[in-house]
Amino acid sequence: MKSPVILLIILGAALAAVVIALMLSPFTNPNAIEKLLPKAIEGFSLVDRIERVEPGFIEQGELYSAHASFAPLPGSQYEKHIDMLGIAIFLFKNEQGAKQVKALLLSGAQTEMIKVYSRAVELFSNADFDQMGILWHDKGVLYEILVTAPKGSEKADRELLKRAALAAAQAVLKAAGPQPQ
């Protein structure tokens, strides 16, 4: 009589562990990627936050995405040099979809591998250097940060665009939790 009861307790505990693990997984928790959007970035104010956007990359298996946009704070170093900073986080059914969209987004861009908190990410810019961003993926999640210079700017300050993109990447990685060393 004791062994069936013990077996049921063990099976119940195992099932509870599986359910908790699935609830915490970004692939099954519909609120997971929204939590990765930072609420603040130094030198910027939050303009808009959309926590659930219908998929645009359906063929690649996108489930949905979350977006946030930030504007430079008045008086900050970014004020007259940056128009907008945007963050998009895409959730895919699998890693292959994230890789395909990453390649698509980087096509035609000038790229450079850099490290943010020991994580390899891809810094990219367009030919005119009036847009710069950072892109990386982790399993089925694709992270995109895009910083734009004001329209009609004579020459964008590449270092300020890069600094803003790095600040945004750091904020996203902090929201994601402990980083690999």
Provide the sign of the torsion angle of the four alpha carbons 104, 52, 172, 130, taken in this order. positive
Question: Cα–Cα distances in Å, from 121 out to 52, 84, 112?
Answer: 24, 21, 8
User: Which residues have C-beta within 8 Å of that of residue 52, sequence separation ≥ 6?
Assistant: 30, 34, 64, 66
Q: What is the pLDDT of residue 20?
A: 47
Instruction: Specify the amino acid at residue 21.
Output: A
Q: What is the pLDDT of residue 121?
A: 95
Consecutive sets of 10 residues in the chain, 181 residues long: mean pLDDT of each?
60 51 46 85 94 89 94 94 95 94 91 92 84 93 94 79 94 78 48
Q: What is the pLDDT of residue 45?
A: 95
Tell me how far apart the alpha carbons of residues 127 and 72 are, in angstroms, rounded to a whole number: 23
Give me the phi and psi of 94, to 5 degrees please.
-155, 170
